[in-house]
Chains A and B, each alone.
Chain A
């Protein structure tokens, strides 16, 4: 059933991290291939001709594109271990809603924080914190968004933690000061091997962001 599994990825991508975590949670061996996004491989262009983006999960030669689709696919194929998505349709709809919320908000707002300055950056920081607070509200007193164990929303959201230090340095603010419950949740997730080994070091991500800023001529 395992077959041949390849993940085309890029180390700082929070989207790639989602699939890394899902595969690790299920204990599935796979080949990790690092892409150079300025020089995309033929394989990537062949496997994701529509968007030409990573991550791409290739299972027995067949591509699955888009990180949330990959996580659902992994959960469905390897359904007997560490289930990520609830079985109840309503709880499933709620989990999908919050993953969609993360997709709609976190990446774009985070990007604005490191790419902009002045009023635009201030607005982005404000909205970003509001979104994290909403997520904190959804987490409530649960250990994870998935309840007692890591679930779909946890897997979708925790990768962005690796970018928090970069956002904080670029935006000159503290996410922990505003959202302590969120950081507490993150630290719980990071205690899990599947998460810890899938996420790069925050300092490395910050250096990467600084390089990007230089490349794009952003102060």
Chain B
């Protein structure tokens, strides 16, 4: 079955990283197309006319938009290798809840950490740590959120690790000092090839954040 899989992406996007990891876990060959978000391609605008955002997964010419929908799609189509979602409905609901929690919290709160200063930033840092601690608690003693192997929540969450260094530098704090178990989990994930080759270097992400700060006139 000849498959054509294309991923429209942007290298620092934690959302794009989710789909990269899922595709790598399943060993699926695909074409990675880097988008310039200040000059979006005709293909992107055609494939995601509603939101005009990356990532977009294009499978045999048909677009799948929104990263968590892509990860579920990848898991369902290529279901015979490295399953990401549990088969039990209750465990599935729990996994979906925590992926949704990551979606509701991490990006927005993390954004406030690098975009603000003073009291707003202090509040954002506090909220971020509380959020990470809750996720640490959900992880418990498991090697991964998915149990013995990488699962849906791991894939949804680990991309944000590539932004931790940038957040720590901007906020002048240490995530590892507050959430050692979480960093241990992140390092465990990074030992997997599918994750390591899907995440950009943290220094590169920090340089990108610095450029964005300059661009938006943030000190």
Residues of A within 8 A of B (CB): 50, 59, 62, 64-66, 69-70, 72-73, 76-77, 89-90, 92-93, 96-97, 100-101, 134
- Complex CA gap A96/B101 in Å reads 17
Summed over the interface, the residue pairs from A and B with CB atoms below 8 Å come to a total of 52
Interface SS of chain B: helix
Determine whether the beta carbon of B69 is less than 8 Å from that of A97: yes
Determine whether the beta carbon of B72 is less than 8 Å from that of A93: yes
Distance to closest chain B CB from A162 (angstroms)? 24
Q: Please give, as numbers and ranges, the residues of chain B lying within 8 Å of A64 by CB-CB distance.
A: 90, 93, 97
A and B contact pairs by CB, cutoff 8 A, 22 listed: A50-B101, A62-B90, A64-B90, A64-B97, A65-B97, A69-B97, A69-B100, A70-B93, A72-B92, A72-B93, A72-B96, A73-B89, A73-B90, A89-B73, A89-B77, A90-B73, A92-B76, A93-B69, A93-B72, A93-B73, A97-B65, A97-B66
Determine whether the beta carbon of B69 is less than 8 Å from that of A96: yes
Interface residues in B, total, Cβ within 8 A: 21
**Which residues of chain B in 70-112 are interfacial with respect to chain A, using CB atoms and an 8 Å cutoff?**
70, 72-73, 76-77, 89-90, 92-93, 96-97, 100-101
Determine whether the beta carbon of A50 is less than 8 Å from that of B65: no
Determine whether the beta carbon of B77 is less than 8 Å from that of A100: no
- Complex CA gap A134/B134 in Å reads 37
B50 at the interface (CB under 8 A from A): yes
Q: Please give, as numbers and ranges, the residues of chain A lying within 8 Å of B5 by CB-CB distance.
A: none
Determine whether the beta carbon of A134 is less than 8 Å from that of B50: yes
- Complex CA gap A163/B64 in Å reads 30
Other CB < 8 Å A-B pairs besides A76-B92, A77-B89, A90-B59, 6 of them? A65-B97, A69-B100, A72-B93, A73-B93, A76-B89, A89-B73
- Complex CA gap A170/B59 in Å reads 44
Q: Please give, as numbers and ranges, the residues of chain A lying within 8 Å of B101 by CB-CB distance.
A: 50
Q: Please give, as numbers and ranges, the residues of chain B lying within 8 Å of A73 by CB-CB distance.
A: 89-90, 92-93
- Complex CA gap A62/B69 in Å reads 25
Q: Please give, as numbers and ranges, the residues of chain A lying within 8 Å of B72 by CB-CB distance.
A: 92-93, 96
Distance to closest chain B CB from A46 (angstroms)? 16
Q: Mark B47-73, 1 if CB is under 8 A from A, else 0.
A: 000100000000100101110011011
Q: Which 4 A/B pairs are nearest by Cβ-Cβ distance?
A: A76-B89, A89-B76, A93-B73, A73-B93
Q: Please give, as numbers and ranges, the residues of chain A lying within 8 Å of B96 by CB-CB distance.
A: 66, 69, 72
Distance to closest chain A CB from B79 (angstroms)? 9
- Complex CA gap A9/B59 in Å reads 39
